[in-house]
């Protein structure tokens, strides 16, 4: 059987860096091509410069490397998208169309595209938010993700495109920095705890959000992509979650290791975004359809984050 040849678009972002390392370990160095708008100074392995809006260049790379699977991670996240709504819409939607169209034409075989808890809005039930519920997002990022979900399902139903997706909660890892999200405080807080023993949160004390440790997110992503097609019953995007906490609770978890850690608050425009999102997620369908189960809770994640950042 011919091995899959994988292209990661947006490989130098928070998820991309970790996904690339895991996929290369799993499938082999030469099976994974990374791409991003800019190369890193110390870019490793097969790499192609790619702006996902440049369809010709995308097709050129797919042809050159005989790509069969694409992970499309290039996007503007919630906070950055609010500052540049037109560009966010253009990047988040037209980037997706370029990849879905290639799958529709049979040029590639399988697509992974991340959605987000941002697809939910203020009218959604906020506790244990189910897979199917009211969805009226009020951020440009959430609107683009909800539209993207509808197009993924449409391309699957109309054209048989094998597209798979997860609604990521806030993702927390120590190997890479997040950029432009509302949940980013939950990464910064660990770095500041180690460096300065204090942090000023841009979300208020009681702002509870769904979150996930990066290792769980990478495992969920690869499990979904490797699952048998007949087990994938949702082609818009799957709810998944790892844990839920607010800034007070993550601070309490950090104080188990750094007792004199202090937390201050300076909420900004991201507070309104967080207030429109769920506090916790019901991921029953992901568990039942393809066996999803998180491994990390808050204290387990805190221990790994602090140990690795310190090292
Ligand atoms: C963000 O905060 O924008 C992202 C997300 C929840 O999709 N981390």
pLDDT of the chain along its 311 residues, tens only? 568 899 999 999 999 999 999 999 999 999 999 999 999 999 999 999 999 999 999 999 999 999 999 999 999 999 999 999 999 999 999 999 999 999 999 999 999 999 999 999 999 999 999 999 999 999 999 999 999 999 999 999 999 999 999 999 999 999 988 889 999 999 999 999 999 999 999 999 999 999 999 999 999 999 999 999 999 999 999 999 999 999 999 999 999 999 999 999 999 999 999 999 999 999 999 999 999 999 999 999 999 999 999 99
CA distance 129 to 170: 15
What's 231's domain CATH number?
3.40.50.720
- pLDDT for 2 equals 63
- From the alpha carbon of 183, which atom of ligand 1 is closest? 2
Task: Please identify, among 197, 221, 239, the residue that sits at the C-terminal boundary of a domain.
Answer: 239
Residue 245 Cα to ligand 1 midpoint, Å, equals: 15
Tell me: do 296 and 187 sit in the same domain: yes
233 plus 178 within the same structural domain: no
Statement to judge: residues 260 and 273 lie in one domain: yes
- Residue 185 and residue 77 share a domain: no
Say how many Å lie between the CA of residue 78 and the centre of ligand 1: 6
Q: Is the pTM above the cut of 0.95?
A: yes
| Total domain count, the chain | 2
Same domain, 77 and 131: yes
Angle between the N-to-C axes of helices 95-104 and 55-65, in degrees from 0 to 180, rounded to the nearest 10: 50
Query: Closest ligand 1 atom, CA of 145?
Result: 7
Q: Which residue has the tokens 């808890």?
A: 117
List the catalytic residues: 141
Q: Is the CB–ligand 1 distance for residue 181 below 6 Å? A: yes
Residue 97: the pLDDT is 98
Same domain, 143 and 153: yes
99 with 218, same domain? yes
Is the shortest distance between the CB of 35 and ligand 1 below 6 Å?
A: no
Q: What is the pLDDT of residue 179?
A: 87
Structural domain boundaries, residue 25: 6-170+212-239
Two structure tokens written together for 40:
């890193």
The finding on whether 78 has its CB within 6 A of some atom of ligand 1 is yes
Going by alpha carbons, the residue nearest to atom 4 of ligand 1 is 181
CA dist., res. 51 & res. 57, Å (int): 8
Q: Whose CA is nearest to atom 7 of ligand 1?
A: 116
What is the reported pLDDT for 3? 81
Beta bridge pairs of residue 115: 167
Q: Are residues 186 and 202 both part of a single domain?
A: yes
**How many Å lie between the centroid of ligand 1 and the Cα of residue 279?**
13
Q: Is 168 in the pocket of ligand 1 (CB under 6 A)?
A: yes
Same domain, 176 and 223: no
Mutate which of 115, 118, 166 for ligand 1 pocket (most atoms within 8 A of beta carbon)? 118
76 plus 193 within the same structural domain = no
Q: Atom 8, ligand 1: which residue's CA is nearest?
A: 170
**Same domain membership, residue 126 and residue 21:** yes
Is there an atom of ligand 1 within 6 Å of 118 CB?
Answer: yes
The verdict on residue 220 lying in a domain is yes
Six-digit token string for 34: 């990374």
For residue 303, is it within any domain? yes
Looking at the structure, tell me whether residues 232 and 300 fall in a common domain: no
- pLDDT, residue 178, reads 87
| pLDDT value for 116 | 98
Nearest C-alpha neighbor of 33 from the set 79, 88, 70 = 70
- Residue 77 covered by a domain: yes
3-state secondary structure the chain: CCCCCEEEECCCCHHHHHHHHHHHHHHCHHHEEEEECCCCCCCCCCEEECCCCCHHHHHHHHHHHCCCEEEECCCCCHHHHHHCHHHHHHHHHHHHHHHHHHHHCCCCCEEECCEEHHHCCCCCCCCCECCCCCCCCCCHHHHHHHHHHHHHHHHHHHHCCEEECEEECEEECCCCCCCCCCCCHHHHHHHHHHHHCEEEECCCCCCCEEEEEHHHHHHHHHHHHHCCHHHCCCCCCEECCCEEECHHHHHHHHHCCCCCCEEEECCCCHHHHHHCCCCCECCHHHHHHHCCCCCCCHHHHHHHHHHHHHC
Cα–ligand 1 centroid distance for 181 (angstroms): 5
Residue 1 inside a domain? The answer is: no
Residue 182 CB–ligand 1 contact under 6 Å: yes
Q: Give long-range contacts, CB 8 A cutoff, 24+ apart: 226-232.
A: 227/164, 227/289, 227/290, 227/291, 229/162, 231/289, 231/290, 232/164, 232/289, 232/290
Query: For residue 200, what is the domain's CATH number?
Result: 3.90.25.10
């Amino acid at each position: 059987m011919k091995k899959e040849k994988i292209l990661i678009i947006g490989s130098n972002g928070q998820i991309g860096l970790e996904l690339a390392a895991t996929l290369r370990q799993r499938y082999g160095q030469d099976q994974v091509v990374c791409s991003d708008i800019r190369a890193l100074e110390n870019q490793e392995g097969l790499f192609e410069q790619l702006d996902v809006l440049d369809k010709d260049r995308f097709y050129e790379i797919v042809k050159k490397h005989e790509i069969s699977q694409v992970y499309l991670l290039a996007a503007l996240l919630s906070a950055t998208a609010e500052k540049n709504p037109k560009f966010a819409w253009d990047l988040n939607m037209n980037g997706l169309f370029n990849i879905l169209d290639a799958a529709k034409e049979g040029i590639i075989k399988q697509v992974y595209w991340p959605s987000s808890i941002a697809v939910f809005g203020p009218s959604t039930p906020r506790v244990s938010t189910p897979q199917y519920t009211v969805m009226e997002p009020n951020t440009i990022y959430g609107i683009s993700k909800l539209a993207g979900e509808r197009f993924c399902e449409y391309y699957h139903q109309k054209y048989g495109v094998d597209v798979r997706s997860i609604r990521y909660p806030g993702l927390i890892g120590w190997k890479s920095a997040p950029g432009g999200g509302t949940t980013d405080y939950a990464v910064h807080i660990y770095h500041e705890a180690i460096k300065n023993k204090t942090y000023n949160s841009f979300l208020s004390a009681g702002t509870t959000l769904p979150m996930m440790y990066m290792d769980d997110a990478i495992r969920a992503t690869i499990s979904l992509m490797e699952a048998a097609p007949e087990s994938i019953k949702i082609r818009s995007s799957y709810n998944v979650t790892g844990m839920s906490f607010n800034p007070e609770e993550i601070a309490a978890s950090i104080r188990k290791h750094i007792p004199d850690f202090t937390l201050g608050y300076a909420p900004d425009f991201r507070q309104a975004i967080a207030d429109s999102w769920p506090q916790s997620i019901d991921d029953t369908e992901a568990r039942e359809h393809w066996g999803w189960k998180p491994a990390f809770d808050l204290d387990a994640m805190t221990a790994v984050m602090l140990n690795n950042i310190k090292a």
